[in-house]
Amino acid sequence: MRVAVASGKGGTGKTMVSASLTAVWDGPVTAVDLDVEEPNLHLFLHPIVEETRTAHLEVPVVDETRCTYCRECAELCQYKAIAVLGEVVMTFPEMCHGCGGCFAVCPENAISAGSRPLGEVVRGKAGTAGFWMGRLRVGEAMSPPLMREVLRDLDAAAPEGDVIIDAPPGVSCPAVSAVIESDVIVLVTEPTPFGTFDLRLAYKAFLPLNKPMGVVVNRSGLGDEEVYRFCKESGLPILCEIPFERSIAEVYAEGQIVSVQLPEIQPLFRKLRRAVHALARTGKEAAHA
């Protein structure tokens, strides 16, 4: 099973939930930090790094001795990463998404593959759990290609057991890329107007993916009831509520795992684990109905 822990809004406690859920998971599990712009799951899981590799994106390099300036590549590229001006071909590697389209359409085979470094793919062990992380290169704007590299390496390694993904916050391309291959989406929110607003956005963005979704209300007791009303109206099950307590904030601020350090809170994450399993079963049943 692949569980994506996501949130429409940053700062709701998504990484706290990912780390705590990993720590109480039953059976083999791998934690994956796909928040590649600002990965921080490692600060809580303290993995021993076993391998780090630089991931690259294939970008076009044009051999102008073969080019006939037909413009087919420039007309195809939706990202304006390649342009033909008279008898000059210009490429803009930092704007290339690596789709490979220009390579395929060039009738003269004038385009070969160069590369642009995207960032690092890190693999390791956090206690008994596997650990993977992407870390975007400073100055690199596009995170989905690096996220795909992390998931490709993970799939190639085929670790035993389940996978818990700490997804990037928000509802744009990186967030969708992180949850699209998951079996279950756990949306972490807080009972505030901002939390509810962004939960609505996340729900709308992920609904077309047709995956079972459930909600973790973090800092419950902090704000208003609107988030509960929205979940009820939308049929979103509340999997777990984590109270608004100073001890949780303190443990988190110290870089420790809440479900490990606070025995009184641990049952909530065990309950969340059971709820996630149950949610996954509903998804399987729906798929076979």
Contacts with ligand SF4, residue ranges (CB under 6 A)? 60, 62, 67-73, 76-77, 79, 81-82, 84, 89, 96-102, 105-106, 108, 110-111
Q: Which is nearer to ligand SF4, 86 or 235 (CB)?
A: 86
Contact 236, 214 (CB under 8 A): yes
Q: Which is nearer to ligand SF4, 103 or 197 (CB)?
A: 103
Q: Minimum CB separation from ligand SF4 for residue 55, in Å?
A: 16
Q: Minimum CB separation from ligand SF4 for residue 180, in Å?
A: 20
Contacts 24+ apart (CB under 8 A), 232-235: 234/203
288 forms beta bridges with: none
Q: How many CB atoms lie within 10 A of CB 109?
A: 9
Q: How many CB atoms lie within 10 A of CB 76?
A: 14
Q: Minimum CB separation from ligand SF4 for residue 175, in Å?
A: 21
Q: Which is nearer to ligand SF4, 84 or 278 (CB)?
A: 84
Q: Minimum CB separation from ligand SF4 for residue 113, in Å?
A: 9
| DSSP code per residue over 93-147 | GGG-----HHHHH-TT--EEEEEEEEEEEEEEEETTEEEEEEEEPTT----HHHH
Q: Minimum CB separation from ligand SF4 for residue 153, in Å?
A: 21
Q: Which is nearer to ligand SF4, 116 or 200 (CB)?
A: 116
Q: Which is nearer to ligand SF4, 144 or 191 (CB)?
A: 144
Q: What 8-state DSSP symbol labels residue 56?
A: E
Residues recorded for the chain: 289
Contacts 24+ apart (CB under 8 A), 272-275: 272/17, 272/21, 272/186, 272/216, 272/239, 272/240, 273/21, 273/24, 273/25, 273/26, 275/214, 275/237, 275/239, 275/240
Q: Which is nearer to ligand SF4, 1 or 62 (CB)?
A: 62
Q: Which is nearer to ligand SF4, 109 or 225 (CB)?
A: 109
Across the chain, where does the E strand assignment appear?
2-6, 29-33, 48-62, 82-85, 88-91, 111-126, 129-136, 162-166, 184-189, 213-220, 238-243
Q: Minimum CB separation from ligand SF4 for residue 119, in Å?
A: 18
Strand-strand pairing, 162-166 and 2-6: parallel
Q: Minimum CB separation from ligand SF4 for residue 58, in Å?
A: 7
Q: Which two tokens stand for residue 194?
A: 């901002």
Q: Minimum CB separation from ligand SF4 for residue 68, in Å?
A: 5
Q: Which is nearer to ligand SF4, 98 or 283 (CB)?
A: 98
